[in-house]
Each structure stands twice: as C-alpha cells, then as structure tokens.
Structure 1
Amino acid sequence: MKRRLAWVCIAFLLLFTFTACSQNKTETIRLAEVTHSIFYAPLYVAMAEGFFEEEGLNVELTTTWGGDKTMTALLSDGADIALVGSETSIYVHAQGSNDPIINFAQLTQTDGTFLVSREKIDSFDWEQLKGSTFLGQRKGGMPQMVGEFVLKQHGIDPRSDLELIQNVDFANIPSAFASGTGDYVQLFEPTASIFEKEGTGHIVASFGAESGSVPYTTFMSKQSFLDDNAETAKKFTAAIYKAQQWVDEKSVEEIAASIAPQFEDTELEIMETVVERYKEQGSFSTDPILEEDEWNNLQDIMDEAGELPGRVDYETLVNTSYAEEVTN
C-alpha cells in the first residue's frame, strides 16, 4: 500500500512538473530590424528590462540593413516579424501579394534622421542647401521620401535646386560622407552625433521635427503568421507597450544605461544626447497604436515623392487589435 501511494505521489509530481514547464515554455520570435539605431530604444529596453521574457518570448534579433533586405527576410520566412518603415507594406501590396504584410504595432512616430553639414554653420537656413551637393538616403525608402518632402516644404526642388545623390547603399552612406562625398548628408543617430563630436560634420536640422507624425517604423508580419499566432502577436505587442511606457517615464540617463549593451562602441554621453533629442521631438511612440491620420500622412509623403503606387485604405494593411487590447 505504501509503495502504491509512493508511486501515485511521484506520478502526481511528474505531471505537475510537466504541466508547469509547458505553461512556462518560452517561444522564440525571429525579429529582423531594418537598421540598428538608438532610434529604436524602446525595442532594446524591452529586451534589456525583461519585458519579452515576462510575456514568455525569446526574441532573436537580426539587423538586415535596408528596407528591401528586411522585407525579403520576412517574405521568404527568414523572419517572423520585421521592424521597418510602413511604406514597405504598401510596396508589397502593390505587387498583388496573396499574403499581405500587416502593420500591427508602431515603434516610432517621426522621422529619425538629421541634416548634417560638412562645415559648421552658426545660423542655418534651408535656403543654404540650394546649389549644394546633398547625400540622401536610398530612393523609395522612408528617410529619402521624408527628406524630399521637407525640402519641398522649404521651397527647395530636390531635382533642380541641388545635386541629389541617392545611389549609395544605406550602410555605406556615413562612410561616403566621411570620405568627402556631399556638402550635406541625411543621417540616423548615433552616427550624426558621433560625426559632430569628431568634427566630421555638424547637425543643423531635424527631419523628424519638420515632417510631423508618421508610422516611420512599425512591427509587421505576414497575415498568415498573425492568423496562426494571434496570441504571440499580442504578447509581443504587450512587451513593446511596457517598454514604451518605461521609456516615456524614465530619465535620459536611465534609458541610455538600459540600452548601452546594444551599442558597446558608442560612448554613454553620446547615447544620452541622442535619446534626449529623440525624446524632445516625440520620436518614440508612447503606445503601439498606429493612428489613421499617421497612415494618411505617410501616403501623402510617398505621393509627394512620386513613390506611392496607389492609396491603400487604413484597414487593409493596419491591424490595431493587439495594440488596443494591451493598452486598455
């Protein structure tokens, strides 16, 4: 009788252990980011502060360097989720995809680039770009379209008022400017601030401050992935929302310290400067909901740049259900 009772107890303990392990099973998500930048601070905070772990997720992050490469990774099942500009989902839609790319959580809500001049300018005016050589971003990408949009807002025709260079690969733009190409360049952080500290260039304006709210970088997935993994998408969004709130509430110093392991070659002082710039201009979304007016502003910018294949209804490529659920 005692032996039988012992076996029952052991069986119960094994069942309990198996059930507990099953409930606590960690799911791996393959995430492809378009570039690696302090601009994406809330993502790195979610990783550093354990917000993904709290949701039972393990995020494997890969930097794919460019919107086209990021979207290729997503379409070819090399990634489950992509962090990239929302314009890429519109391009895929225009090609008639049977498995549309759906924007489900927003990370940044302004452009993240800055205008950097080669020479120090004490009193900058956009008119000074006329007749200059401008090293822009990749044609058809969100940074370049925003850049052209802002130039036009200031009465500058990027095709006739300056020499526009946009055939340099995304990852090589900083080195091209450093080696002498261009009077002005459009750069992400922390490169812009590093160049300024080194004397390679000088930040004179912010494209994010000039262009207004847009879904500049969002998390997106194939519709099929979301259909099969709705709970996973919700958990991922919940972790991002926790990080967004954390970034909104914490000091510049605390944020920089949290994401520092992601940027081992960047001085903490530079990181703090960059975080402060982005916080001041409201680049970090405080929640993951992509609003319809932002979606429309995005398409206006694409249209102005001549890159919009056709307007796409908000409901067609945007799903805010996970974001709304985790924020309520």
Structure 2
Amino acid sequence: MKKMLVIGFAAASVIALSACSAGADTAAPAGSDEFTPITVGVIPIADTAPLYLGLEQGFFEDEGLDLTIETATGGAAIVPAVVSGDYQFGFSNLGSLMVANDKGLPLKLVNSAVASTGDVTSDMGAIVVSGDSAIETLADLNGKTVSTNSLNNLLDTVARSTIDSAGGDSSTVSFVEIPFPDASAAVENSQVDAAFVVEPFVTAAVENGNRVLAYSFSEFEADLDIAAYFSSAATVESDPELVDKFQAAMKKSLQYAQANPDAVRAIIATYTKTPPEVLAKIVLPKFPTEFNVDAVTALGQAALKYGVVETAPDMSSFLP
C-alpha cells in the first residue's frame, strides 16, 4: 500500500530531483476492512521528510490509509489541487496558506509540518550570495535582485522584513521567482545577486562556492513555523474521520523524524539525488507537532505590512 508518485522538475548542477517508489502491499490494520486511498501533495525538500518516513514506517497504514505522495515545485501549485479534490491533503508554506485564506479559498490547516531551528548561525533556510560577492549584509541588498521559489509569499515576506530590520530598504529590492534547484546556479551565473533557499539547497549552494548572507527565518522569529499540512474545508467537514486518521499518522511521523535525524537524512536521499557529502552536512529543521502561535502571528503581520495579504489571518480560525 506504500506508493509515491514523483513529478520531477529542473535541477541545479549539484542536485536533480527524481522519481522513487517504495514497498509492497501489506495487510490492512486489525478491525479495518480496507485501506482508504489518500494523495498528499508536497515539495521534495528536507522539510517533507516526516511524510516519507511515515510512509516507510507504516504509520499511515496503521491508520488504514493508502498514501500516495505527489510532488510540485511550490505550495502555489498544491493549493488548487487540494481545493479541486485531486489531493486530499497538501503541504504548503504558511505564506501561500495565508494568501489562500485572505482570498477566501476553502482550506483548513490540519497539522504543523516544519519549523526553523531558531539559530541565527545555522538554520535550514538562508539567503546566499556568490563567494566573491561584495554583498556583506542584508542592507547591502538595496537595489539588488533576490530569488525565491515563489513571489508574494513566505520567503520574500521574511526577506523583506529582515532586510528592513537590518537597516536596508526592501522596497528597492527586486524579487524574482526561481525554483530552489536552480537558484544556486542563478547566483553563480549572476542572473540574481542573491537567493533565498532551503535545505538541501543551502548546503549544496555552499558546496558550490556560494556564501550564506543570513539565516533569515531565524533572524525573523525564533522557532518560526515554515509550513503546514492542510486539506479542503469540504474534506474536513464531510470526512472528519479521515482527517483524524491523517492527523494521527502525521503526528507520529513528525515525532519520529524529530527523534531520528539519521533516518531523516537517509529518507531525503530516496526522493532527491542529494550527494552523500551534502546530505551529511545539511541543517535539519525542527519537526514540531504544535504551532508557535506568536511566531505565526508575527508572520501574518509582516504579510499584511508588505501587501501579501489584505487582512492578517485570525489565529483562532487559521490554525487548527
């Protein structure tokens, strides 16, 4: 019952994403007549390792769920697939989910997913520049071009906030959309002056000779929730038992990932072609089972400040 369907996309010179599959059918859990098929849309990055681990460890089968994983380049592509019912659940950064909430899309957060380390000297997301760049501080990004994996979203919101906090003027910075796997090459080729990337692409960029300018997630807020798993309002309302089962399996998956960093590194190798020397060095995020409400509130206020949303989300209804 373990299934993964991976849709590949363009890769940088160090890392190329590829398809993978795992396992064979197993018996249904005691007391269950059959497995319920679910599809979960994710981004194939270090952040989503707990879902793959949960599949490998049988946590979803334990709940009677037949899990298929599909991948996309960003949350902006996953959201409409969940709304349409193509996916029962999805993974997306909180910026995309705040935008969706602001637009009135019928989505409901169901699980926490990943958070920054809170360490301003070592984190799972960073703004990188070329090794010989004259850019030394975030304020030096004034008038420069910075890439993120999607625009008007989590990363550029955090980048703008940390640039301004460092004494820069983020209104002078041009943000462009480049997928994570291609961002390091874009920096090296001077297509952009800097790139905001997450692991394993932070370490890959450094291995390619780039330099970390700032760990902006941790600079923005300690223990910042980066993303969440979500479903459609229709699924939450019509099939609460399915949601309960997914939440239970996901909680076990997050707990397992947090307690087993070596297993996290090993599973990442199954859905990305990360070189072993890079995999050994990547900074793993935290995998919390609860949201940091204060940090998410601060993110909502920043999204409002920079025009990403017209209204900051109400945490009492936005978070599960």
Q: TM-score range by the shorter chain?
A: 0.7 to 0.9
Whose helix fraction is larger, Structure 1's or Structure 2's? Answer: 1
For residues 86-135 of structure 1, the C-alpha deviation after alignment (integer angstroms, 9 at most, x for no partner) is 333333333344xx211110101239521111125799543443454433
One-letter amino acid matched to 2:299: L
SS at 1:23's partner residue?
A: coil
SS at 1:259's partner residue?
A: helix
- Match of 1:135? 147
SS at 1:146's partner residue?
A: helix
Distance 1:107 1:237, change over 3 A: same
8 Å Cα contact 1:116-1:186 kept in structure 2: yes
For residues 220-254 of structure 1, the C-alpha deviation after alignment (integer angstroms, 9 at most, x for no partner) is 1111101222122122112222122222222x433
8 Å Cα contact 1:136-1:147 kept in structure 2: no
One-letter amino acid matched to 1:89: L
> RMSD of the TM alignment (CA)?
2.8
Distance 1:109 1:253, change over 3 A: closer
- Match of 1:197? 207
8 Å Cα contact 2:115-2:288 kept in structure 1: no
Gap runs ≥5 in structure 2: 1-27, 117-122
Percent of matched pairs sharing the same residue: 18
Q: After superposing the two structures, state which structure 1 stretch, 231-240 or 20-29, moved more.
A: 20-29
For residues 8-57 of structure 1, the C-alpha deviation after alignment (integer angstroms, 9 at most, x for no partner) is xxxxxxxxxxx988715211111111x21012222222122222122221
Aligned partners of 1:152 and 1:27: how far apart in 2? 48
Deviation at 1:84, TM superposition (A): 0.4
1:218 aligns with 2:228: yes
**Where do residues 207-246 of structure 1 align in structure 2 (5 Å cutoff)?**
207-212=216-221, 213-246=223-256
1:57 aligns with 2:59: no
Deviation at 1:219, TM superposition (A): 0.7
- Match of 2:269? 260
SS at 2:225's partner residue?
A: coil
One-letter amino acid matched to 1:232: L
Deviation at 1:83, TM superposition (A): 0.5
One-letter amino acid matched to 1:188: V
One-letter amino acid matched to 1:29: I
SS at 2:50's partner residue?
A: helix
**Where do residues 177-326 of structure 1 align in structure 2 (5 Å cutoff)?**
177-199=187-209, 201-212=210-221, 213-250=223-260, 252-263=261-272, 265-274=273-282, 277-278=283-284, 283-287=285-289, 289-319=290-320
SS at 1:192's partner residue?
A: helix
Among candidates 83, 87, 105, match of residue 91 of structure 2: 83
Aligned partners of 1:59 and 1:300: how far apart in 2? 35
Distance 1:120 1:175, change over 3 A: closer
For residues 45-96 of structure 1, the C-alpha deviation after alignment (integer angstroms, 9 at most, x for no partner) is 2122222122221221111222321111112222111100233333333334
Count, aligned residues? 286
What TM-score comes out, normalization by structure 1 length? 0.77
8 Å Cα contact 1:28-1:57 kept in structure 2: yes
- Match of 1:149? 161
8 Å Cα contact 2:138-2:162 kept in structure 1: no
For residues 256-308 of structure 1, the C-alpha deviation after alignment (integer angstroms, 9 at most, x for no partner) is 12432122x2123312321xx23xxxx32331x23432331221120232212
Aligned partners of 2:205 and 2:228: how far apart in 1? 27
One-letter amino acid matched to 2:162: V
Distance 1:170 1:122, change over 3 A: closer
Among candidates 156, 169, 175, match of residue 165 of structure 1: 175
Q: Larger Cα Rg: Structure 1 or Structure 2?
A: 1
For residues 169-225 of structure 1, the C-alpha deviation after alignment (integer angstroms, 9 at most, x for no partner) is 6675444334331222111221221222133x2223212221224432101111110
- Match of 1:4? none
8 Å Cα contact 2:29-2:63 kept in structure 1: no
SS at 1:166's partner residue?
A: strand
Aligned partners of 1:114 and 1:130: how far apart in 2? 17
Aligned partners of 1:165 and 1:293: how far apart in 2? 27
Deviation at 1:139, TM superposition (A): 2.2
- Match of 1:115? 127
One-letter amino acid matched to 2:100: V
One-letter amino acid matched to 1:73: A
Distance 1:89 1:202, change over 3 A: closer
Among candidates 9, 30, 55, match of residue 39 of structure 2: 30
SS at 1:273's partner residue?
A: coil
What TM-score comes out, normalization by structure 2 length? 0.79
